[in-house]
Amino acid sequence: MSGFSSLNVASSALAAQQRALDIAGQNIANAGTEGYTRQRVEMRSLATAAPYASYSVGDNLGEGVSADTVTRIRDAFAERRGQLEHGRAAMAGALGEAYTRIETSFGEPSTSGVQNLLTRSWAAWSQLSSQPTDPTARSAVLAATDAVVKGFGSTAAALDGQWNDTRAGAAGLVVDVNATVGQIADLNRSIRAAVFSGAGANDLMDQRDALVGRLADTIGATASETINGMVDVSVGGTAIVSGTAFSTVSLGGANEPGATPAGVTLTVAVGGPPLTAGGTLGGQLQALNTVIPAYRTSLDGVAAQWAGQVNTLQAGGYDAAGGVGVALLGPTDPAKPTGAGNLRVASTDGALLAAASQPPVAGPPIDPSADGGNADLISALARAAGGPDTVYRDTVTKLGVQARSALSSVASTAAVTAQADAARLSVSGVSLDEELTNMLAFKQSYAAAARLVTAVDEMLDILINRTGLVGR
């Protein structure tokens, strides 16, 4: 062992502490950076170059410290749990948003919802039953009926609008997902190259993991680490990034509400195998394929039932001229079934409302009955057990129950996600106190190493300048 080796040891210590301080600086600088993973210099003591052997004469004291590895401190399990919970929370969020918007479309309970319009039409029929010969009572019924038709129409249009917006939103997300998977594959390539060449890839990995986190939110992706620092990303069990290769996802199927065949599909590439998405996209697909169509169908059912029941009763009565009542409501487009969006007031003449329950006295002149019995029967639909009001109220109550459970799952998944994030950050987050404490330690070590240099220097000085002076 030469005297200079101590200097080498001291210099390696100086370099290592310097490096550690640099990394502490980097950590502090990024304490607030989203997706940053704290780093630590892995210090390792250096053994002597000479291997231990039978006739070895070295003293195996070690040759200082090495600080060439900088690792990211993260917990793969916590990261994966974070991705899963983020996917779930985003899915619940998308569904909650869909339900909230459906609630707004129905607009109950209020004075402007379909329920109130229906009630006003029943009241108008009751008014007509009390004054069957009054033309104003007849026009009031027509006006109230028209208002109900418009009410059904605007609710249906709002639901259709929501479907279209959600479809457009999902298409936008798919574009985003496809761009992101490409970037992840690119970063995987760069990381592999960096790992091969021995350069640090920590910041590239942070960048890539942030992108994976975004995919967890948008499509419910999860990542698993493979070799050379790369990750594979999969959605619902199907890999979409595999090392440096990736496949795009494609949105297909119906592109307007009520299209046949119904259903929006998400596939790997165009026409590839179907993908079970989570995250925002999964929630939006569920809204597009189940939630919105279900309420649209219920609304259509109520509208068709209303039109059917009113028309049936119309046919059982007699109008102001004594004729048998004609259909009051009909579809706008006869080729399609009557529904909330396909409904119109078919007769615009108040005299054609069949208010009377009795046939006219045969003439001449014909004397139409002026009893309001049939109008009263129609207004009684308001209270009928299977009447449109009851069915509509059931639909709104069901909406309330489902929206409530969707919103509560938004809150609960958000809480779980916050917990998962906290668990993740408790490993990978930067603690300023900790960094400051480390800085103190590194600074002291640096000072001590510097002192070592001085000590060795003095030692050598004694050897060089003060020896060989015996007897001088």
Partner 1 sequence: MRITQRTIVDNNVRGMNANLAALAKLQDQITSGKALTRPSDSPSGTSTAMRTRGDLSMNDQYKANISTATTVLTAADGALGAMGDLVRRVRDLTVQGANTGGNSAEANEALAVEVAGIREGLLALANRTVNGRPVFGGATSGTTAYDTGGAFQGRTGVPQQIRVSDSETVRTDMDGVTAFGVQTGIEPDLFALVAGIAGDLRTDPTALSARLVQLDTAAQRLTQARTTVGVRTNRVEQVAAVNSTVELSLRGQLSDVEDIDQAKTYLELQIRQNTYEAALSGASRTIQTSLVDYLR
Residues engaged in binding partner 1 (CB under 8 A): 31-32, 99-100, 103-104, 106, 108-109, 111, 113, 115-116, 118-120, 122-123, 126-127, 129-131, 133-134, 320, 322, 356, 358, 360-361, 367-373, 376, 379, 382-383, 389, 393-394, 396-401, 403-404, 407, 418, 421-423, 425-427, 429-434, 436-437, 440
Q: Which is nearer to partner 1, 9 or 389 (CB)?
A: 389
- How far is it, in rounded angstroms, from Cα 403 to Cα 399? 6
Q: Which is nearer to partner 1, 259 or 436 (CB)?
A: 436
Q: Which is nearer to partner 1, 240 or 320 (CB)?
A: 320
Strand partners, 66: 44
In the complex, least distance from residue 120 CB atom to partner 1, rounded to whole angstroms: 6
Q: Which is nearer to partner 1, 65 or 117 (CB)?
A: 117
Q: Which is nearer to partner 1, 249 or 407 (CB)?
A: 407
Q: Which is nearer to partner 1, 186 or 421 (CB)?
A: 421
Backbone angles phi, psi at 198, to 5 degrees: 85, 0
In the complex, least distance from residue 430 CB atom to partner 1, rounded to whole angstroms: 6
Q: What is the DSSP string of 178-239?
A: HHHHHHHHHHHHHHHHHHHHT---HHHHHHHHHHHHHHHHHH-EEEEE-GGG-EEEEETTEE
Tokens 């028309």 correspond to 311
Q: Which is nearer to partner 1, 270 or 401 (CB)?
A: 401
- How far is it, in rounded angstroms, from Cα 198 to Cα 201? 9
Q: What is the DSSP string of 94-146?
A: HHHHHHHHHHHHHT-SSSSSHHHHHHHHHHHHHHHHH-TT-HHHHHHHHHHHH
In the complex, least distance from residue 386 CB atom to partner 1, rounded to whole angstroms: 15
In the complex, least distance from residue 380 CB atom to partner 1, rounded to whole angstroms: 8
Q: Which residues contact 413 (CB under 8 A, 6 or more apart)?
A: 85, 88, 89, 91, 92, 93
In the complex, least distance from residue 309 CB atom to partner 1, rounded to whole angstroms: 16
Strand 245-246 to 249-253 pairing: unpaired
In the complex, least distance from residue 373 CB atom to partner 1, rounded to whole angstroms: 7
- How far is it, in rounded angstroms, from Cα 277 to Cα 268? 11
Q: Which residues contact 361 (CB under 8 A, 6 or more apart)?
A: 367, 369
Amino acid letter for position 447: A
Q: Which is nearer to partner 1, 34 or 59 (CB)?
A: 34
- How far is it, in rounded angstroms, from Cα 40 to Cα 144? 74
In the complex, least distance from residue 122 CB atom to partner 1, rounded to whole angstroms: 7
189, exposed or middle or buried, with CB in 10 Å at 0-12, 13-18, 19+? Answer: middle
Strand partners, 239: 234
In the complex, least distance from residue 302 CB atom to partner 1, rounded to whole angstroms: 13
In the complex, least distance from residue 25 CB atom to partner 1, rounded to whole angstroms: 14
Q: Which is nearer to partner 1, 344 or 393 (CB)?
A: 393
- How far is it, in rounded angstroms, from Cα 218 to Cα 28? 30
Where b means 16+ CB within 10 Å and e means fewer, 265-281 reads ebbbeeeeeebebbbbb
Q: Which residues contact 172 (CB under 8 A, 6 or more apart)?
A: none
Q: Which is nearer to partner 1, 156 or 396 (CB)?
A: 396
Tokens 């069949």 correspond to 354
Q: Which is nearer to partner 1, 64 or 387 (CB)?
A: 387
In the complex, least distance from residue 146 CB atom to partner 1, rounded to whole angstroms: 18
- How far is it, in rounded angstroms, from Cα 32 to Cα 467? 58
In the complex, least distance from residue 171 CB atom to partner 1, rounded to whole angstroms: 28
Q: What is the DSSP string of 286-311?
A: HIIIIIHHHHHHHHHHHHHHHHHHHH
